[in-house]
Amino acid sequence: MSILITGGAGFIGSNFVLDWFTQHDEPVINLDKLTYAGNLQNLVALQDNSNHLFVKGDISDYDLILDLLNKHQIRAIVNFAAESHVDRSIHGPEDFIQTNIVGSFRLLEATRNYWNDLSKTDQEAFRFLHVSTDEVYGSLSDTDPAFSETNRYEPSSPYSASKAASDHLVRAYHLTYNLPMLTTNCSNNYGPYHFPEKLIPLVIHNALNGKPLPIYGDGQQIRDWLYVKDHCSGIRRVLEAGRIGETYNIGGWNEMSNLDVVNTLCSILDEESPRSDGKSYSEQITFVTDRPGHDRRYAIDARKLEQELGWRPVETFDTGIRKTVRWYLDNQDWVNNITSGAYLEWVDKQYSE
């Protein structure tokens, strides 16, 4: 039997697939639509691995999904496939509705029909793990406790609203059809293979190219930062031993303001790749108009995952961010190959103010 990974050429999905093969020899069917953020270069280390089968396709394609499930006797699905960037959802929400809601629905429908035909033993062993975000919970004040699994959903953007909808669909398919579902809600990920539209890779890329380092508003928005490989290990643990029908929050226990993150990156780059003029990269920091509906603070309470399944992140922010900067410095060819004209036009539009 095999597992099906959707969105397995994206940032988190590709890290999960790469890490999977350091822990298991079970075959992986890797389905990805290869939108702008999906990149087969992320998976080049697996090009000679016969247990890795890449399929270009969309989770909205019911017939394709059902065929893959039957053909490869899938025993678990991990669903990473999603449009995931808040700024893009503000400019063009329809893609988020189509992928995150309609796509999730069709993936669930194909799974339901496949699961119904399994033997009782295989039904009991089957798992569907849906990967979601802390952004479905909305925004916290400086004094609010961190998000737990029982927090009310209060999404603020088309992105988070579409992910909230997919979470509700997953829960409904468990309660209505008895499908063995699991959901994880993670905090902000960072690490290798991160498309440089998000804060950390964007700042590294712009710093090295002598460009402004754009920070929304006053830069005091707070996020909980989770190293991507820690996230992947948390997902593996939930897939292995999580209680059916449950939600598990995965966080890094690293709350930092955006401005502090950028200053930390500048300090590391000053050490690892100094500017030719001897000045600090922090001189490139530029404050830009805040985006609409910008949530002030996210924070994850991951105690349930620790208490039930014994998981905690391995990396601190200091160790994880240094590994991340080093990876980008050592993989400039990867960065240069994906920073196309279309990407540069989008960044210019987004941060033009």
Percent above pLDDT 90 for the chain:
87
Written as one letter, the residue type at 175 is L
pLDDT at 103: 98
Of the residues 83, 114, 137, 159, only one is catalytic, namely 159
Mean pLDDT of the 180-192 span: 98
pLDDT of residue 38: 87
Mean pLDDT of 27-43: 92
Does the annotation mark 135 as catalytic? yes
User: 36-89, pLDDT tens digit by residue?
Assistant: 888 899 999 999 999 999 999 999 999 999 999 999 999 999 999 999 878 888
Select which of 32, 87, 135, 149 is catalytic: 135
Residues 13/80, Cβ–Cβ less than 8 Å:
yes
- The answer to whether residue 350 scores a pLDDT higher than 80 is no
Interval 122-149 mean pLDDT: 97
Q: Is the pLDDT of residue 257 over 90?
A: yes
Q: Is the pLDDT of residue 347 over 80?
A: no
- Give the residue-averaged pLDDT of 256-279: 98
User: Domain spanning 2-190+227-253+295-314 has what CATH number?
Assistant: 3.40.50.720
Kindly report, residue by residue over 220-240, the tens digit of the pLDDT.
Answer: 999 999 999 999 999 999 999
Domain map (residue ranges) of the chain: 2-190+227-253+295-314
pLDDT(281) > 70: yes
Asked about 87 being catalytic, the answer comes back as: no
Average pLDDT, the chain: 94
**Cα gap 163→170, rounded to integer Å:** 11
The whole-number pLDDT of residue 351 equals 56
pLDDT at 86: 84
Q: Which residue has the higher pLDDT, 198 or 27?
A: 27
Point out the catalytic residue in the list 32, 58, 83, 134: 134
Least confident of 31-40, 92-101, 126-135, 278-287: 31-40
Residue whose pair of structure tokens reads 């690490």 in the numeric block: 191
pLDDT interval class at 344 (50, 70, 90): low
- pLDDT attached to residue 353: 47
Task: Quickly state the pLDDT bin for 352 (edges 50, 70, 90).
Answer: low
Does the annotation mark 25 as catalytic? no
Check whether 341 has a pLDDT greater than 80: no
* Residue 197: per-residue pLDDT: 81
